[in-house]
A and B are shown apart, each in its own frame.
Chain A
């Protein structure tokens, strides 16, 4: 009695795979290349090679000091979990004030006190970063307040219109309508 069993016919999928597997793997290697420009642009932005941020706001005078302010991204605030919408700003202190300034804060609306001056900028004075919470009920005519505290205890404040600091944020606020 013969024990020969006919070899099972390979499935179409198997045939396809065996014919094209080399090309498919080359394709897999090529896909990341498409993301390279964005990757290198992001790297340059984070390293500071492409400037302080995506959009420079300009020099802001705060009493005897000044800083250069920029939006990290020229876009609307991003929802960062349960803490709400956040907008990233970068800043560089003026050369002369680097030794004098202890802390720099950012807030929408005038701070009630130094304790409540808003979010703090962290990082090197040549490139500091802060993540500013933007409440959904923020008015389009709101002001962005910068508070600087010196090592000698001095405090200086200045404000610029939010529309000047971040037109993308104003567009976002207008688009979603004034929340109560």
Chain B
């Protein structure tokens, strides 16, 4: 008599083998878009698909002054007013886990 569990076990084995080798790195990611002439919205996250609520996102001037010290909201986004001075956005998930976005790389609305 065929054990009804056997096909299930075989399926499980195949699934385990299939997913075992995929050790996922999670690199920080950040994307900024201008939503209108005044506002910029940045979304942070990690390449494994997880969000980044509460992670620091600072808007820093070219002279290294922090123009907007911020933290991402529960939806992993932060919207801020476009500063008058030249700036870049720094998504800072810890030392060595940062993403820099220059103002020149921010998409216009």
Contact = CB atoms under 8 A, between A and B. Distances in A.
B96 A80 contact: no
Contacts of A119: 96-97
Interface stretch (B7-15, B34-42, B76-84, B87-95): B87-95
A116 B95 CA distance: 8
Task: Give the interface size bracket for B toward A.
Answer: 10 to 19
Interface residues of A, number: 20
A120 B25 contact: no
A154 to B, nearest CB: 16
A119 to B, nearest CB: 5
Given A80-B47, A83-B47, A103 B27 contact: no
Given A81-B47, A83-B29, A112-B64, A120 B95 contact: yes
A115 B98 contact: yes
A55 to B, nearest CB: 22
Provide the main secondary structure of the chain A interface: mixed
A48 to B, nearest CB: 18
Contact of A80 (B27, B60, B64, B90): B27
Q: Which 10 pairs from chain A and chain B are nearest by CB?
A: A120-B96, A83-B27, A83-B47, A81-B47, A116-B100, A83-B29, A82-B47, A119-B96, A120-B95, A116-B98
Interface of B: 24-25, 27-29, 47-48, 60, 64, 88, 90, 92, 95-98, 100
Interface of A: 80-83, 86, 103, 105, 112-113, 115-122, 130-131, 133
10 contacts: A80-B27, A81-B27, A83-B47, A86-B25, A103-B96, A113-B60, A116-B98, A119-B97, A121-B96, A133-B27
